[in-house]
DNA sequence: CATGCAAGTGAGTAAACACTAGCTAACGAT
DNA sequence: ATCGTTAGCTAGTGTTTACTCACTTGCATG
C-alpha cells in the first residue's frame, strides 16, 4: 500500500491501462489481473473501482466515445469547405486509431458483443454519429456544387466509413507496417475525386452482362 | 461410441462446427468442448484429430482460404469485362461472408493474431491475393478505356477492399440488420462510377485550406 | 474370422479466470 | 490530534479451460 489515489484518478488510470492492454492481448484476453498489474494495484483492488468487469468495459466504451467526439470537434475547427471538413474528420479518426489501436479491436470484437449487447449498440450509435456527420457534409458539398447532385449522401458517407474501417483492419492485419494516416489521406483524395460530377455518358454504368 | 467416422470426415465436421461456433461465441470464446459437443464427440476425442487447438485454427484458416479461392474462380466464370469481373468478385466475397459470418470475425480477431503470427500472415497473404486480382482487373479496365488512366490500380483495389471490409464490419455491428450483398452491390456501383474519367478541371482537387 | 490400427471414451490435472470477504491503513476534514 | 471514509491488501472460492492418459471398441484388411 504505497500510494493511495483518489477513485477518479485511479479509474482513469485503469481505463487507460485497459486501452493499452486490450490492444496488446486482444480485448477478450485482457484479464483483470493484467490491468491491475499495469496500474500497480492488486487484482482484487481493481474491483473496488469496477465491481464487475463489464462495468470497466462500459467505462472504456465511454472513453472511446469521448475521445472520438473531441477529435471530431477539434478537427472541424477552422475548416470551411465541406471537402476539407471531411478530410479533417477522416484524418482525426485515423490519428486516434493510430494513437489508440485498441479502438477498432474493441469496436469490432465479436467476443465483447456476444454477451454485452449494450456495448454493441453503443458502438453502433457512435458509428452512426460519424456517418451522420459525414453524410451531412457530403450534402453540403453537393449543394455547393462541388460534387455530383446524383450522389446519395448516405451512400457516399458509407464509402468513406468503409475506407476508414477497411484501412484500420488492413493496418492491423499487416502488423502496422505502413503509415495509416498518409495512406488514408491518399485514398480519400481518390474517393472524393470520384464524387465529382461525372462526364456525360459515363454517369450510369452499362447494365451487367 | 455410437458411430465411428474416418478421420478425414471428422476433421471436416469439426472445422465446419468451429466456423459456426466462432461466429456465435466469438473466436476466442469458442472452447474445444463446445466444438466437440457440436459434432457429437467428447472433448478429449477432439484432440485425437487436432493435437493442439492452434492446429484446429490452422485448419480453419485453410478452409477459409479454399472457400475464398473457389468462390473467386466460380465468380469469374463467364464474365468478360473487367467491371463485371470485379462486381462478381465482390458479390462472391459478400455472399461467402453472409453464409459464413465467422470469416471476418476470425480474420480480424486480435486474440487469434496475438499469439499466432502464422495465422495473421496467412490471412494477410489471402487479402493480398484478393487485392492483387482486383488491382489487375482495374488495370485491364483502364487499358480498355473504361476507367480514368490516372487511376492507380492498387489504390482503387484498396478502396474496393475497404468497401467489402467496412461493410462486413458494419453488418456485424448492426446485428446483420440489412442485406449485405444488396448494399454492397449498390455501393460498388457508386464507387466504380467514380473511377470513370473525370470531367476536365475536376481531375485534381484544389489544394487544401 | 481373427487381428491390428486408430477413433473415441472417462476421468482426470494444472493453470487462468472473475469475483468475494474481511481486514488495514492512508488521507481529508474537523 | 482525532476520526470516519474508503483505497487497497491478503487470502481465498468456484468455474472454465486446454490438454493428458490409460482404456475400449468399431472397422477395414488379410
Q: Are A79 and A85 in contact (CB under 8 A)?
A: yes
From residue A208, give the alpha-carbon distance in Å to each of B82, B88, B95: 11, 10, 18
CB contact under 8 A, B187 and A159: yes
Beta carbon of B1 within 7 Å of strand D?
yes
Can you give the distance from the CA of residue B109 to the C1' of nucleotide D9 in angstroms? Answer: 36
> In strand D, which positions have an atom below 7 A from any protein CB?
6-12, 16-22, 24-27
pLDDT of residue B163: 98
CB distance from A144 to chain B under 8 Å? no
State the nearest Cα–Cα gap between B142 and chain A, in angstroms.
Answer: 14
pLDDT of residue A1: 46
Distance of CA A21 to the CA centre of its chain: 17
* Residues in A touching B172 (Cβ below 8 Å): 108, 110, 113
Can you give the distance from the CA of residue A205 to the C1' of nucleotide C27 in angstroms? Answer: 72
pLDDT of residue A198: 66
- pLDDT (tens digit, 9 = 90+) per residue, A125-172? 999 999 999 999 999 999 999 999 999 999 999 999 999 999 999 999
- A176 in the Ramachandran plot: left (φ > 0), alpha (ψ -120 to 50) or beta? left
- Closest CB to A194 among B24, B194, B208: B194
DSSP B29: G
CB distance from A157 to chain B under 8 Å? no
* Burial of B181 from C-beta contacts in 10 A (0-12 / 13-18 / 19+): middle
Across all strands, nucleotide nearest B47 (CA–C1'): D19
Can you give the distance from the CA of residue A47 to the C1' of nucleotide D9 in angstroms? Answer: 12
CB distance from A95 to chain B under 8 Å? no
State the nearest Cα–Cα gap between B131 and chain A, in angstroms.
Answer: 11
Does residue B203 have a pLDDT over 70?
no
pLDDT of residue B115: 83
Please list the ranges in chain A whose pLDDT falls under 70.
1-2, 198-209
Q: How far apart are alpha carbons A45 and A33 in whole angstroms?
A: 10
Q: How far apart are alpha carbons B182 and B186 in whole angstroms?
A: 6
Residues B121-148 have a mean pLDDT of 97
What share of chain B has pLDDT > 90, as a percent?
87
Residue A21, C-beta contacts closer than 8 angstroms, at least 6 positions apart: A30, A34, A35, A38, A102
Count of CB atoms situated within 10 Å of the CB of B118: 12
Q: Are B173 and A108 in contact (CB under 8 A)?
A: yes
Q: How far apart are alpha carbons B89 and B150 in whole angstroms?
A: 23
Does residue B204 have a pLDDT over 50?
no
Q: How far apart are alpha carbons A138 and A35 in whole angstroms?
A: 42
Q: Are A118 and A59 in contact (CB under 8 A)?
A: no
Angle at A165 (CA atoms; ends A162, A170), nearest 5 degrees: 115
Query: B7-25 and B32-39 helices cross at what angle (nearest 10)?
Result: 120
* Burial of B207 from C-beta contacts in 10 A (0-12 / 13-18 / 19+): exposed
Per the prediction, chain B carries an average pLDDT of: 93
Residues B66-75 have a mean pLDDT of 98
Q: How far apart are alpha carbons B77 and B70 in whole angstroms?
A: 11
Count of CB atoms situated within 10 Å of the CB of B141: 23
CB distance from B45 to chain A under 8 Å? no
Across all strands, nucleotide nearest B53 (CA–C1'): D18
Rounded to 5 degrees, φ, ψ at B27 are -55, -40
Rounded to 5 degrees, φ, ψ at B70 are -60, -45
Q: Are A113 and B176 in contact (CB under 8 A)?
A: no
Residue B96's nearest CA partner among B34, B192, B190, B184 is: B184
* Residues in A touching B103 (Cβ below 8 Å): none
CB distance from A130 to chain B under 8 Å? no
Distance of CA A76 to the CA centre of its chain: 16
- Closest CB to A80 among B22, B186, B209: B209
CB contact under 8 A, A208 and B87: yes
Instruction: Give me the sign of the Cα torsion angle B172, A56, A69, B156.
Output: negative
Does residue B12 have a pLDDT over 80?
yes
Domains and CATH numbers, chain A: 53-195 (1.10.357.10)
Distance of CA A43 to the CA centre of its chain: 29
Beta carbon of A4 within 7 Å of strand D?
yes
Angle at B49 (CA atoms; ends B43, B50), nearest 5 degrees: 80
pLDDT of residue B199: 57
Q: Are A180 and A167 in contact (CB under 8 A)?
A: yes
Of the pLDDT bands very low, low, confident and very high (cuts 50, 70, 90), residue B2 is low
State the nearest Cα–Cα gap between B20 and chain A, in angstroms.
Answer: 13
CB distance from A61 to chain B under 8 Å? no
- pLDDT (tens digit, 9 = 90+) per residue, B30-69? 999 999 999 999 999 999 999 999 999 999 999 999 999 9
Instruction: Find the closest chain A residue to B147 by CA distance.
Output: A202
Q: How far apart are alpha carbons B107 and B103 in whole angstroms?
A: 6
Q: Are B104 and B176 in contact (CB under 8 A)?
A: no
pLDDT of residue B205: 46
pLDDT of residue B151: 96
Query: B153-173 and A117-143 helices cross at what angle (nearest 10)?
Result: 130
User: How many CA atoms does the CB half-sphere of B72 hold within 13 Å?
Assistant: 15
CB distance from B80 to chain A under 8 Å? yes
Does residue B4 have a pLDDT over 90?
no
Cell 470513370 found at = B196
Of the pLDDT bands very low, low, confident and very high (cuts 50, 70, 90), residue B202 is very low
Residues B80-95 have a mean pLDDT of 97
- Write down the H helix ranges in chain B: 7-25, 32-39, 43-49, 53-76, 82-99, 102-107, 110-114, 117-143, 153-173, 180-195
Instruction: Find the closest chain A residue to B83 by CA distance.
Output: A208
Can you give the distance from the CA of residue B42 to the C1' of nucleotide C17 in angstroms? Answer: 23
Amino acid at each position: 500500500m504505497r500510494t493511495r489515489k483518489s477513485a477518479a484518478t485511479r479509474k482513469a488510470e485503469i481505463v487507460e491501462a485497459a486501452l493499452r492492454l486490450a490492444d496488446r492481448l486482444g480485448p477478450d484476453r485482457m484479464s483483470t489481473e493484467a490491468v491491475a498489474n499495469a496500474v500497480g494495484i492488486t487484482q482484487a483492488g481493481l474491483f473496488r473501482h469496477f465491481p464487475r468487469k463489464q462495468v470497466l468495459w462500459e467505462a472504456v466504451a465511454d472513453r472511446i466515445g469521448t475521445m472520438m467526439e473531441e477529435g471530431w470537434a477539434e478537427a472541424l475547427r477552422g475548416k470551411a469547405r465541406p471537402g476539407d471538413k471531411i478530410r479533417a474528420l477522416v484524418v482525426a479518426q485515423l490519428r486516434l486509431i493510430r494513437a489508440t489501436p485498441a479502438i477498432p479491436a474493441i469496436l469490432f470484437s465479436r467476443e465483447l458483443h456476444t454477451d454485452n449487447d449494450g456495448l454493441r449498440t453503443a458502438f453502433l450509435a457512435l458509428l452512426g454519429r460519424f456517418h451522420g456527420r459525414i453524410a451531412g457534409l457530403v450534402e453540403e458539398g453537393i449543394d455547393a456544387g462541388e460534387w455530383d447532385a446524383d450522389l446519395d449522401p448516405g451512400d457516399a458517407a458509407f464509402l468513406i466509413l468503409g475506407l476508414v474501417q477497411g484501412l484500420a483492419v488492413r493496418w492491423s492485419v499487416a502488423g502496422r507496417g505502413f503509415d495509416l494516416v498518409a495512406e488514408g489521406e491518399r485514398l480519400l483524395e481518390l474517393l472524393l475525386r470520384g464524387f465529382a460530377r461525372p462526364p456525360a455518358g459515363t454517369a450510369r454504368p452499362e447494365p451487367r452482362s
